[in-house]
Structure 1
């Protein structure tokens, strides 16, 4: 709580914008984003996932920090019966996703262009069938570890919105972050790691496309971690 008695505002780390947007990118933000944006009401209320999409969907998937949106648009294109929500504050990445949404004619994508946590808190219990957190900022310095998304308290919140049998997918090419995510998620009672042999986390699943960031291989060989909600 802050000194005013109100909850302290969360701080969002990382960039909101990179290089200047081209005219076409800016137009997508002006013309397409308002149609796909999830507006969180103030004061907060629980969202109705079924009301977010123009037609019924069979499941709801959530991607936290979708970067340039390559993974999200790939999943949405190949799973047209699933509604996908992407959270990302970086507007350059949002504009790239909007371009793909328009090019592919995707009506099953919705975007929260900000910190994922308020959106997650607005979702009802057990409504999500799959959550992705792929190649998040590793925050390698020890004093910055508290900025990492995977923490005991965020796992509690993810456990609330994921239904029994739902999947949590995590990936990183930073060994320190991989160890961190494994340590915290494996010890959380709501999640079970599915790996039985090294190939299960070293080999990319067929339905897990590479992201632009991953192709750069900035730190090392990626690890693909899959957990099931108990």
Structure 2
């Protein structure tokens, strides 16, 4: 049944791909970064660890990394882990490229994909990923647009297929309706179990959490972030 739903689903990308025009230095940094790190979805790999320039012990995925604050922090904290960052928004990818340009190099444990994450998920081998982060995704707050939210039964099937048993799907948002939506969808999915040891767990940021500019804005505007972790059973 899960396989049939995946085959039936043809997702459209909702949202902007371009924002402000890039400055020449940003554009040059982005071009150099993509030449180095962009994944081309040719023949699917038997093991995504082979996608990296140097050996890695496991591979994690971050979908919609925005300006890249969290992704860069994790790449630095876990050099033996390979990270695939997905961001279709050109300006977000450019921010990450500029930050790396300022640091003077591209990490060997980072690859990126600049298109629809569902295509990448379908390309990856079964039980090959050790963690998925979906942090502050577009909430589509109007009820008529909720069907556009990335968390849905079809994409949870995709997550369940690529995640190794015992690995984690982490979701953060400051929008109450999306937090509730995600809890309900994950609790209804037999492959996921919410990891919460106390009533306040959802208020506690993840270990090593660097914060993001979007999160800081949400807090200034009086919205409370929620940090959910689901185990792939």
Partner of 2:96: 97
1:32 counterpart SS class: helix
User: How far, CA to CA, are the matches of 1:127 and 1:214 in structure 2?
Assistant: 30
Deviation at 1:9, TM superposition (A): 5.9
> Matches of residues 17-36 of structure 1 in structure 2 within 5 Å?
17-36=18-37
Deviation at 1:8, TM superposition (A): 8.5
For these two proteins, the number of residue pairs brought into alignment is: 221
User: How far, CA to CA, are the matches of 2:207 and 2:163 in structure 1?
Assistant: 23
Partner of 2:112: 111
2:206 counterpart SS class: coil
Partner of 1:220: 223
Deviation at 1:221, TM superposition (A): 0.2
- Do the aligned residues in 2 keep the contact of 1:163 with 1:229 (CA within 8 Å)? yes
Farther-moved stretch of structure 1 (50-59 vs 64-73) = 50-59
Task: Compute the RMSD of aligned alpha carbons.
Answer: 1.6
C-alpha distance 8-78 of structure 1, shift in aligned 2 (>3 A): closer
Deviation at 1:18, TM superposition (A): 1.1
User: How far, CA to CA, are the matches of 1:195 and 1:136 in structure 2?
Assistant: 21
- Do the aligned residues in 2 keep the contact of 1:68 with 1:97 (CA within 8 Å)? yes
Farther-moved stretch of structure 1 (149-158 vs 212-221) = 212-221
Once the two structures are superposed, residues 114-134 of structure 1 have per-residue CA deviations (whole angstroms, 9 ceiling, x without a partner) of: 110101111101111110000
> Matches of residues 1-230 of structure 1 in structure 2 within 5 Å?
10-41=11-42, 45-47=43-45, 48-102=47-101, 103=103, 105=105, 106-217=107-218, 218=221, 220-230=223-233
Deviation at 1:219, TM superposition (A): 6.5
C-alpha distance 9-77 of structure 1, shift in aligned 2 (>3 A): same
User: How far, CA to CA, are the matches of 1:10 and 1:179 in structure 2?
Assistant: 23
User: How far, CA to CA, are the matches of 2:99 and 2:30 in structure 1?
Assistant: 13
- Do the aligned residues in 2 keep the contact of 1:77 with 1:104 (CA within 8 Å)? no
C-alpha distance 182-104 of structure 1, shift in aligned 2 (>3 A): farther
Farther-moved stretch of structure 1 (219-228 vs 160-169) = 219-228
- Do the aligned residues in 1 keep the contact of 2:11 with 2:118 (CA within 8 Å)? no
Farther-moved stretch of structure 1 (145-154 vs 201-210) = 201-210
Deviation at 1:50, TM superposition (A): 2.5
